[in-house]
Structure 1
Amino acid sequence: MYKQILSNLTGGRRLVIADVHGCLKTMKALVESKIKLSQKDQLFLLGDYINKGKNSAGVLDYIIELIKQNYKLYPLRGNHEQRFLDACHEFKKLKNTSDQFPFSTQWKSSLDLLDERGQPQQKYIELLEQFPYYYELDKFYVVHAGFNFDSSTPFTDYSSMVLVRNLHSNPTSKVIVHGHQIHQLHEIIHKVKTRSTIIPLDNGCYKKLSLRNVLRNAFLWRKIGNLCCLNLDTFELLVQKNID
């Protein structure tokens, strides 16, 4: 259920991007204009590619396209992918009974993941089922939400890896890089600059602020609504504001 990558034999950068949530234009701007991804780089994605934003299917198609072009992508699953897969499996079980549930009503912000009959597209199910829960690197754990260290088996507690919140302690010898829970930009910057043992990267990319909200709080736009990328080797933080 996880992959272990101990080194980068290609000599490229090791990069981590936080929760995209259907913000395809923002993701492309970050990957192509700010990161300028090369085929030598390793790009880790923290999950939650779907829901909230406008283009869930577009984000998944973009991931598929990059993989086909031989970019070294390492996508994780987040809680939104897990919920989608759980709903798909439930739908399959109920498919031939009179007790079907209207799948489309469960995913109003991700109807593009469904076909014309309102059923989940098989290509997305097959893609998401391949995504592991975490990656272990030489000095890092890369995971969507974190680990439940109150458990006697935190590295097989897969539910916690996509759902745990308020991760405050890290008893391991490696830095945990995670998404899932929105942190203000100054908090993320501080964690990166101080080389914290727990580094959050989710800045609520999908929370594009209206002009009305910005006028209400002139500093609010600086706090949330960005897609963040961390270079694991240099600790450089790249930030792309929402343009979707």
Structure 2
Amino acid sequence: MAVGVSCNEASTPEGMRLYAVGDIHGRHDLLAAMHARLMEEILHDRPADWRIIYLGDYVDRGSNSRGVLEYLANLRESDPRVIALAGNHDLGFLDFLSNPDPLGLFSCHGGFETALSYGVEIDLTSREAMEPGHAALVRAVPQRHRALLATLPYSVSFGDFFFCHAGIRPGVPLEDQTPDDLIWIRRAFHAHEGLHPKLIVHGHTPVRAPEICSNRVNLDTGAWHTGRLTALRMEGREKVLIEAAC
């Protein structure tokens, strides 16, 4: 019989506090407010060890993707306990910079706003029309932002928790999950009711309220349009939801 970990049973390593934060999508204001709140808790409570894990999708749709990437780059450089995972939109932005596609993820799902945050307006109606704007965007994106996007890990695990952007392929060992599933999967993952080897904490699929299931936790509350960014604090078996809202 397969053995898995339920949400109620999942525990952090002894002495470690974990935070996971849902999809940001250009909401630098909510990111800054959330991170300040989490650090205030950490400095007040002084856990023996801690990690803050951002679950991906930092760009597109919201108004300040540039600010989000700059903020995360600074955080990651200043403290390795801050971990930023890859989301499909983050890699879609990186792909667009090297291979602009008018029918790609960036062009069709919020990339226009991302370009505007770098001071560039792109006509995304055709490959020919986008060429001048694309060239301007390539010039405008700092190398440190591209380096950040290119080095985002797809997953991380601590204790009984496995963190990724979208989810996992049920029945496949965690160490064998494909990058494509980790940033894109939806239906097969959401429909699976059995326990996984660890509790999966993810985002990717917007929900009106944080989704707490026996085998997974979805923290994507659509921050870019709802004005609500959601995080989960985990310490031992205790799990507490946190919200930053405007």
* Shared fold (TM-score, shorter chain, > 0.5): yes
Displacement of 1:165 in angstroms is 1.2
What's the TM-score, normalizing by structure 2?
Answer: 0.72
The alignment yields a C-alpha RMSD, in angstroms, of 3.0
* Alignment match, 1:240: 244
Displacement of 1:87 in angstroms is 1.9
Give me the whole-angstrom Cα distance separating, in 2, the residues matched to 1:131 and 1:37: 26
1:168 partnered with 2:191: yes
Match of 1:67 among 68, 76, 98: 76
Give me the whole-angstrom Cα distance separating, in 2, the residues matched to 1:152 and 1:25: 37
- Matched length: 204
Structure 1: give runs of 5+ residues left out of the alignment.
1-5, 92-99, 209-224
Q: Are the aligned partners of 1:148 and 1:154 in contact in 2 as well (CA < 8 Å)?
A: no
Give me the whole-angstrom Cα distance separating, in 1, the residues matched to 2:173 and 2:142: 37
* Alignment match, 2:231: 229
Give me the whole-angstrom Cα distance separating, in 1, the residues matched to 2:148 and 2:32: 20
Give me the whole-angstrom Cα distance separating, in 1, the residues matched to 2:41 and 2:173: 39
* Alignment match, 2:85: 76
Displacement of 1:113 in angstroms is 4.7
What's the TM-score, normalizing by structure 1?
Answer: 0.72
Q: Are the aligned partners of 2:53 and 2:85 in contact in 1 as well (CA < 8 Å)?
A: yes
Name the % identity. 24
1:96-175 to structure 2, matched below 5 A, reads: 106=107, 107-111=111-115, 112-113=117-118, 117-119=136-138, 120-149=141-170, 155-166=176-187, 167-169=190-192, 170-175=194-199
Displacement of 1:51 in angstroms is 0.8
RCO greater where, 1 or 2, for CA within 8 Å and sep 6 or more? Answer: 2
Structure 2: give runs of 5+ residues left out of the alignment.
1-10, 44-48, 121-134
Displacement of 1:199 in angstroms is 0.7
**Residue 118 of structure 1: SS of its match in structure 2?**
helix
* Alignment match, 2:53: 44
Displacement of 1:77 in angstroms is 0.5
1:197–1:153 Cα change, 3 Å: closer
**Residue 59 of structure 1: SS of its match in structure 2?**
helix
* Alignment match, 2:129: none
Displacement of 1:138 in angstroms is 1.8
The aligned amino acid for 2:168 is F
Q: Are the aligned partners of 1:113 and 1:124 in contact in 2 as well (CA < 8 Å)?
A: no
Deviations 1:58-97 (A, max 9, x none): 1111112222332611110001011112223325xxxxxx
Give me the whole-angstrom Cα distance separating, in 2, the residues matched to 1:37 and 1:127: 26
Deviations 1:126-156 (A, max 9, x none): 1111111111222011010001227689833
Displacement of 1:36 in angstroms is 2.0
Q: Quick check: which one's helix share is greater?
A: 2
